[in-house]
Amino acid sequence: MRDPSLEQAEAALADVSDRLDVRRFEESSLPALPALRPVLPGLRRGQVVTVDGVGALALALMAGPSQAGSWCAVVGVPDLGVPAASGMGCDPERMLLIDEPGERWVDVVAALLGAVDVVLVCPPARAPSPVVRRLSALARTSGSCLVVAGAWEGAMARLRVESSLWTGVGQGHGHLRGRRVRVVAEGRGAGGRSRSAWLWLPGPDGSVRPADLVAVDGERTAAGAA
């Protein structure tokens, strides 16, 4: 019996195969959101980028290519917030969601690489070296960008949220309106040195944009996941 997760991936690919932009290999990199460019100018085709969790930062990485018309796939994230992704700029109509690939997640990612521009995957455990080599090689030859939530040997760039400030809660009451975070990028894909920037991730309107550190009433500091 065939694995349902592979059938789901194949059905999704069949649905979009006739609509994929044939110009996708003409550019050597995919665009990043303007707010992210101080830490990561763009997503180079064929590279692997890691983030320290499946959350706002991972969605922001997909938003730049998605806004530019690229297809993106998300593997192994059953609780993905599609409305939040849309608020950050992702186009839900160009997102393939493979919620629970199970033990066949490697085959699912392999099938998606080369068919879409960006694949975001949350492996169930740290990937062994043979899997890392296989999927990294597929990303290089296909021209897709692989975004991994977690550790990945040989990743070109590593992004993490180092600290965060929630706004909107004051003296025990109020509503969270937005989160300002310090994003740090390291690795060759980030220019070979550590870079950092404060961003709204997300801002009060749900978008991603640069942030300053001017104190505002009702702020509270929180250690936030990406």
Give the DSSP letter string of 131-146: HHHHHHHHHHHHT-EE
Average pLDDT over residues 172-181: 69
Task: Give, as one character, the DSSP assignment of residue 61.
Answer: H
Q: What's the confidence (pLDDT) of residue 20?
A: 46
Res. 96: pLDDT tops 80: yes
- Count structural domains, the chain: 2
Res. 216: pLDDT tops 80: no
Residue 103 has which token pair?
Answer: 């033990």
Q: What's the confidence (pLDDT) of residue 25?
A: 46
22 assigned to some structural domain: no
201 assigned to some structural domain: yes
CATH assignment of the domain containing 128: 3.40.50.300
Tell me, yes or no, whether 140 and 75 share the same domain.
yes
Q: Pick from 122, 149, 176: which residue ends a domain? A: 149
Which of 95-99, 186-190, 191-195, 211-215 shows the lowest per-residue confidence on average (mean pLDDT)?
211-215
Residue among 70, 71, 65, 109 nearest 88 (CA)? 65
Tell me, yes or no, whether 129 and 56 share the same domain.
yes
Average pLDDT over residues 67-81: 94
86 assigned to some structural domain: yes
Tell me, yes or no, whether 46 and 121 share the same domain.
yes
Q: Pick from 149, 167, 197: which residue ends a domain? A: 149
Tell me, yes or no, whether 130 and 187 share the same domain.
no
Handedness of CA 103, 130, 145, 180 (dihedral sign): positive
Q: What's the confidence (pLDDT) of residue 133?
A: 97
Tell me, yes or no, whether 122 and 167 share the same domain.
no
Q: What's the confidence (pLDDT) of residue 164?
A: 84
Average pLDDT over residues 61-74: 96
Angle, alpha carbons 136-130-46 (nearest 5°): 5
- The residue among 149 and 7 whose pLDDT is bigger is 149
Tell me, yes or no, whether 132 and 166 share the same domain.
no
11 assigned to some structural domain: no
Tell me, yes or no, whether 145 and 169 share the same domain.
no
For residue 225, the number of C-alpha atoms closer than 13 Å in the C-beta half-sphere is 8
Tell me, yes or no, whether 97 and 37 share the same domain.
yes
Tell me, yes or no, whether 167 and 85 share the same domain.
no
Residue 67 has which token pair?
Answer: 């806004």
Tell me, yes or no, whether 142 and 171 share the same domain.
no
Tell me, yes or no, whether 123 and 177 share the same domain.
no
Tell me, yes or no, whether 65 and 115 share the same domain.
yes
Location of structure tokens 């998605």 = 66
Res. 104: pLDDT tops 70: yes
The band of 170, judged by pLDDT with boundaries at 50, 70 and 90, is low
Q: What is the per-residue pLDDT across 9-52, written as a single tens digit (0 to 9) for each?
A: 656 555 554 444 434 444 589 999 999 999 999 999 999 999 99
121 assigned to some structural domain: yes
Range of the domain at 168: 159-222
100 assigned to some structural domain: yes
23 assigned to some structural domain: no
> What are the beta bridge partners of residue 180?
165, 200
